[in-house]
Amino acid sequence: MGSRVPSTAFHFRLDLHTGVPVYRQIIDQVRGAIASGSLVAGDQLPTVRQLAVDLAINPNTVVRAYRELELGGLLETHQGTGTFISAQKMKRSDAQRERQLAQIIGDCVARAGAAGFTVEDLIEQLRGLVSEPTRRR
């Protein structure tokens, strides 16, 4: 697999005030970037050491996130060359996908509601993401 640098540099961003563990934020950002097309099969992610330095976090946190993504089939690690977005999509049944999406939406609505936003506010933001697929968060 050739190492392809993402066409538009993908940057990880941490929010230490959300209560979401850092490794989970890394996982969610990689999954979100794959879903939006910001990261595609063959894109190379930063090394564990580089991402840990960039985010000022413990390398073990990056290892944990990368390992979970690899077990889920989203990443491939090649010794000596790096970590890449896998060409294989996660295989899940339709029921599993629906359950997972319902959970994500429920979590999102709950967090948004706690912050004073409405479902309509969320829908408006989601429509904005669809109309601007290259927009970065």
> Average per-residue pLDDT in the chain?
84
36/63 same-domain check: yes
- pLDDT digit string, tens, across residues 11-49: 899 988 888 899 999 999 998 888 888 899 999 999 999
∠ at Cα 15 (85, 86), nearest 5°?
5
What is the amino acid identity at position 52?
A
Q: Is residue 12 part of a domain?
A: no
Q: CA angle, 83 as apex, 80 and 87 as ends, to 5°?
A: 125
Same domain, 76 and 99: no
Mean pLDDT of 82-110: 79
pLDDT of res. 38: 87
Question: Is pLDDT of 137 > 50?
Answer: no
What are the beta bridge partners of residue 74? none
> Residue 103's domain spans which residues?
94-131
Of 3-7, 47-51, 94-98, 120-124, where does mean pLDDT reach its minimum? 3-7
Would you place residue 91 in the very low, low, confident or very high pLDDT band (cuts 50, 70, 90)? low
Domain total for the chain? 2
Are 71 and 32 members of one domain?
A: yes
Q: Which residue has better confidence, 2 or 39?
A: 39
By mean pLDDT, which of 23-32, 58-67, 93-102 is the weakest? 93-102
Same domain, 79 and 110: no
